[in-house]
Chains A and B, each alone.
Chain A
């Protein structure tokens, strides 16, 4: 069964600090992995998308890494800001069905001043 597990479930950090969120998956065959940011009361917004051959992808202060061998991904946030407070969702897609992505439960990040 395809699964995506994210850790930690929630995280509280101080403004300006760095943090790393984890995503482990068992989706196979693998096509791509995406990280979304979801602010409270809003829809998810794509941060990064990585295919099998990509190891790292950056979007401003957000850097995602992918290890397709171990089926692990991480999202690193540098110099956190209060606006980074949100839920971060890892989504993995197989290459057999465009719509059947598997969603993680998300990590809720709170950045405090």
Chain B
């Protein structure tokens, strides 16, 4: 398996533009997570899905952020409109099981480095 795949790897955009980040989880994994990482705040969970259904989006910073998972092999995180403070590395991760099981180990993608000017 190629692992979790994210695209693009780097994104530079101007304030006010729409940004769409993409993720392909590991085949067979039921859980998909979106994280944001900054120097100031470390890793933050934004939202996670179970079987394509959003379970907890309490980490999504505001209405400008939205995430979808139309099928088991694809998810998007969209920011519209983007702002400079959204600059960060966005990680997607997937796992095959629930908390407390070995399958809960999350496998992270390489991340998308977003810079909003």
A pairs with B: yes
Complex Cα gap A95–B109 (Å):
25
Sort chain A's interface into a size bin: 20 to 34
Main secondary structure of the interface of B (DSSP, over half): strand
Q: How many A-B residue pairs have CB under 8 A?
A: 60
Mask of B15-56 contacts with A, CB within 8 angstroms, 1/0: 000000000000000010100000000111100101000011
- Complex Cα spacing A98 to B31, Å: 9
Question: What's the least CB distance linking A7 to chain B, in Å?
Answer: 15
Shortest distance in angstroms between B56's beta carbon and chain A's nearest beta carbon? Answer: 5
Q: CB within 8 A of B104: which of A44, A89, A93?
A: A93
Chain A residues, CB < 8 A from B100 = 31-32, 51, 93, 95
Residue among A43, A44, A89, A93 with most chain B CB within 10 A: A43
B residues near A, CB below 8 A? Answer: 4, 31, 33, 42-45, 48, 50, 55-56, 91, 93, 98-100, 102, 104-111
Task: Show 20 A/B contacts (Cβ-Cβ < 8 Å), sorted by A.
Answer: A32-B99, A34-B105, A43-B93, A43-B110, A44-B43, A45-B108, A49-B102, A49-B105, A51-B100, A89-B43, A94-B99, A97-B99, A98-B31, A98-B50, A98-B99, A99-B33, A99-B55, A104-B42, A105-B42, A106-B42
